[in-house]
Amino acid sequence: MLLIFVRTIILYILVLVVMRFMGKREIGQLQPFELAISIMIADLATIPMSEPGIPISNGIIPILGLLVMHLTISIMNLTSVRMREIICGKPSILIYRGRIIEKNMKKERFTINELQERLRGNNIFDMGDVEYAILETSGQVTVIPKPNKRNTTPEDFNIMPEYEGISYDLVVDGRIMKENLEKLGKDYNWLLKQVEQFGIKPEEALIATIDGKGNFFCQEKEGRKKDV
C-alpha cells in the first residue's frame, strides 16, 4: 500500500509539472493536439499508479515523451502558418453578414440547436441580432452582433474615460505582497498606515488592494477579534 501511495505522489507531481510546461489554457480552449496529449498523459499515469508490478518508468518515460512531442508541435505552430493550419485547423464562419452558412455548418457537423446554445452563451438570444459567428479552432464560438445591437461604449458618445489602470493585491490572507508594493514604489510603513485606518494590522487582513485611482480596499480576517 505504501508503494502505491509513493508511486501515486511521484506520478502526480510529474503530471502536474508536465501540464504546467504545456501552458495555462483552459480545457475549453485546448487545441485538438493538446487535448489528445492531455488524455494520453492521464491514461499513462493511471497504469503504473495502480499496478505495483509495472515499473514506474513505464509511465514516466512515455509522459516525458509526450511533453517533448507537445513542445515540438508548439514550436512548429509558432514558426509555420501552414503547419498551424494542418495541426490546429482554421476558424470556420457559421454566420456571415446575418446569414447562416449551411455548407460550413454541415462541414463542422454543427446543428442549429447547438448554434443557438452557443449564441445564448454569448448573451445573444435572437439569431437575427448576429452579424458574424465564427467557430474557432478551440471549439469556442466568437459572436459579433449587428451594429445596432452592440453594447454602447463611451466612445459612441465622444466621452474619454479616465485611465483606471489595474488593481494590485497588497495583502492576501495576512501575507504581504512585497513584489506589488515594490511595483507601486511603496513600503511596509505606507501599507501599515493605510491598513491601520481599518483598525487592524496588515498581517490581520484577509485582503487589501489598491486600484489605479488610488482607492484602497481592506477587509479583516473573520474571528480576529475573538482571538485577541
Under a CB-based contact definition with an 8 Å cutoff, are residues 88 and 137 in contact? yes
- pLDDT, tens digit, for every residue of 140-185? 899 999 988 888 888 888 888 877 788 999 999 999 999 999 999 9
Q: List the 92-96 sheet strands across, edge first.
A: 99-100, 92-96, 130-135, 141-145
Which residues face 216 on adjacent strands?
A: 210
Q: What is the DSSP letter of 139?
A: S
pLDDT at 192 over 50: yes
Q: What is the pLDDT of residue 100?
A: 95
Calculate the alpha carbon distances from 189 to 41, 114, 196, 220, 224 in Å.
49, 56, 10, 18, 22
Helices and strands counted in the chain (H then E)? 9, 8
- pLDDT, tens digit, for every residue of 106-115? 999 999 999 9
Q: How far apart are CA 161 and CA 154, in angstroms?
A: 7
Q: Which ranges in 54-186 belong to alpha helices (H)? A: 57-79, 81-88, 102-107, 112-121, 178-183
Place of cell 501599507: 191
Q: What is the pLDDT of residue 207?
A: 95
pTM here is 0.64
The amino acid occupying position 65 is G
Query: Could you give all domains of the chain from N- to C-terminal order, each with its CATH number?
Result: 2-86 (no CATH), 92-149 (3.30.240.20), 168-227 (3.30.240.20)
